[in-house]
Amino acid sequence: MKSSRTNIVQITYSLSIIFLLAIVACQPPCNNEVGVFDELPCEDPKYQKALQKILTEAEENELRFYVRDYLFVQEEEYLVVKVHGPKVCAEAHFLVNNPSGIKGIRNHQAKGYRGAELRGLAYSVSSELENGMVYRGVDRIVD
């Protein structure tokens, strides 16, 4: 009896390790060439300005976006994503005015979606807004 129980524990442990490795393998390594992303919190104005510059100057398909969270803050909603690129690894908070395309993420507050890639993420960047980044849509969510 003990040996079958031990085997079940070993199999469960092995499957857990494989699952975690698969999750980590889905996201490319993240390295920053802009020190502000490692040194400051994402709420800092310098962090936001550097991130907005990268989002504005990035070429199509140069950046990848992964779901981190979905926040309800007072009267506003934010899609929180991890931004991966050749020179950047940062967290972005996109203001959501219309949750078209991400209603599942919104309704479940990102639970079950964390780590999913947002392909074809459409957004706008404006220095006039406090946050500066606004979610516009997404082509598809790859889990």
User: What are the pLDDT tens digits along the chain (143 aa)?
Assistant: 555 656 554 555 544 444 444 444 455 567 788 889 999 999 899 999 999 999 999 998 899 999 999 999 999 999 999 999 988 999 999 999 999 999 999 999 999 999 999 999 999 998 777 778 999 999 999 98
Which residues lie closer than 8 Å to 61 by C-beta, 6 or more apart?
A: none
Among residues 81, 137, 136, 132, which one has the least CA distance to residue 110? 81
Cα 104-107-108 angle, rounded to 5 deg:
85
3-state SS of the chain: helix, strand, coil percent to 5?
A: 35, 30, 40
